[in-house]
Copies of this chain bind each other. A is one copy, B any other.
Amino acid sequence: MTDLVLLGHGGGGELTRRLIADHILPRFANPALDPLTDGAVLANPGGRLCVTTDASVVTPLNFPGGCIGRLAVCGTVNDLAVMGARPLALTLSLIIEEGLPFAELDRQLDAAAAAAREAGVPIVTGDTKVVERRRGDGLLISTAGVGVLADGVELSPRRVRAGDAVLVSGRIAEHGLAVMACREGLAFKTPVVSDVAPVLRLCAALLTLGAELRFMRDPTRGGIAGVAADLAEDGAVGVELDERAIPISPACRHAAELLGLDPLAVANEGKLVAVVAGAAAERALALLRADPLGRDAAIIGRITAATPPLAELKTTAGGRRIVQRPHGEELPRIC
């Protein structure tokens, strides 16, 4: 067996079968993953089904705090979790560049398997294709997830109303800045490390608030700014954020300045933004802070009845500025 992935490994013949048998099945064997069928069969626990998908095209494949394998799994787990769903299963679709060392593929598969175990969600089926060598980025991963939504769970921007509180589960901008710093070859005295992690436990904690929990979102591409802008537009409400309340590490603040980026617009991969009834704000904060992943959680703003609906930031300097979705070119291939 060669030590590099070859085009033939994607041909669907003997080489593909060996790749699956030697590299994939040993890591992901579970009752649902039956290599003899075209997919996986799962028990059905009832409840509305949630389906989501995500592609991971991050480059480089490995960055401080994580890698594409971990990112792919956490991203889809988190998408289901912030919908209020209990994830049942994940799929893993690999597009490998010819020339990727098998050692690298194995490392990413190990990371994906470990993230799935950490989240308690099995990867039940997958697919492997190989494309010609190009830039040597090596690997693209698409994941899909299926989950179930319990009766009565209705999280949506439409449920948000004036007087509600906006919370974030911890320090912002870590993932995007870690990847950008790594890409630019920047090293900081205090390293900037991706926060990539499953936020399932945090979501489960907030769901105990029942109807007082209005909305959750994971602030990935587009960051906090993107979530706030979407919330204002989709919920037809005003969103007022307090810059002094938004948690960010000194290292990230410094890295963002150096890279010329607005931390509010930088991707997070192990955080959630939640909107809860005003009266539940302190309880929500306590629930988040009770979890290690939520130790730096903070109430960062409130919902208003402002028209036209806008997201605004009360700045540290004492002014106000509109929070917009970033345009898009600033952070390519972060996720």
- A residues sitting closer than 8 Å to B (CB atoms) are 6-17, 32, 36-44, 46-57, 79-80, 82-83, 85, 88-89, 91-95, 124-132, 134-135, 137, 140, 142, 144-146, 148-149, 155-158, 217-218, 220-222, 226, 230, 234, 265, 267, 324-333, 335
- Known contacts being A14-B327, A39-B79, A48-B42, is A53 close to B93, with CB within 8 Å? yes
Report B-chain residues with C-beta under 8 Å of the C-beta of A132.
135, 332-333
Closest to A145 in B: B39
Docked pose: A37 CA to B216 CA in angstroms: 9
A221: min CB distance to chain B, Å: 2
* Cα of A8 to Cα of B265 in the assembled complex, Å: 14
Query: Interface of chain A, helix or strand or loop or mixed?
Result: mixed
Cross-chain contact A328 with B44 (CB below 8 angstroms) = no
Across the interface, do B328 and A53 meet the contact criterion of CB distance under 8 Å? no
Taken together as a complex, chains A and B put the C-alpha atoms of A132 and B14 apart, in Å, by: 32
For A51, give its contact among B42, B137, B324 (CB under 8 Å). B42
Partner of A327, one of B15, B130, B230, B331: B15
- Give the shortest distance, in Å, between A159 (CB) and chain B (any CB): 11
Q: How far is the CA of A89 from the CA of B332 in the complex (A)?
A: 30
A16 CB contacts on chain B under 8 angstroms: 221-222, 328
A11 touches B327 (CB 8 A): yes
B12, B32, B326: the one contacting A335 at CB < 8 Å is B12
Q: Is there contact, CB below 8 Å, between A39 and B51?
A: yes
Q: Which residues of B contact A32 (CB under 8 A)?
A: 51
Contacts A93-B142, A328-B14 given; indicate if A53 touches B8 (C-beta within 8 A): no
Knowing that A13-B222, A14-B326 touch, tell me 13 more A-B residue pairs with CB under 8 angstroms.
Answer: A7-B332, A10-B333, A11-B326, A38-B80, A39-B53, A40-B52, A42-B50, A49-B146, A51-B144, A53-B125, A53-B142, A53-B144, A140-B140
Whether A9 touches B328, Cβ cut-off 8 Å, given contacts A52-B125, A79-B39, is yes
Chain B residues, Cβ within 8 Å of A144: 51, 53, 91, 93, 142, 144
Interchain nearest-CB distance for A53 vs B (Å): 4
User: For residue A127, which residues in chain B have a CB less than 8 angstroms away from its CB?
Assistant: 53-55, 142
Q: Name the one of B43, B55, B79, B335 contacting A38, with C-beta atoms under 8 angstroms.
A: B79
- Report whether A332 and B130 are in contact in the complex, using a CB–CB cutoff of 8 Å: yes
Interface centre among A12, A83, A137, A335 (most CB of B within 10 A): A12
Give chain B nearest CB distance to A149 CB in angstroms: 6
Most B CB contacts (10 A, CB to CB) among A9, A51, A95, A333 go to A51
| Cβ contact within 8 Å between A265 and B57 | no
Contacts of A335 in B (CB 8 A): 12, 129
Across the interface, do B52 and A38 meet the contact criterion of CB distance under 8 Å? yes
CB distance from A320 to the nearest CB of B (A): 21
Residue ID in chain B nearest A267 by CB atoms: B12
Contact A48 B44 (CB under 8 A): yes
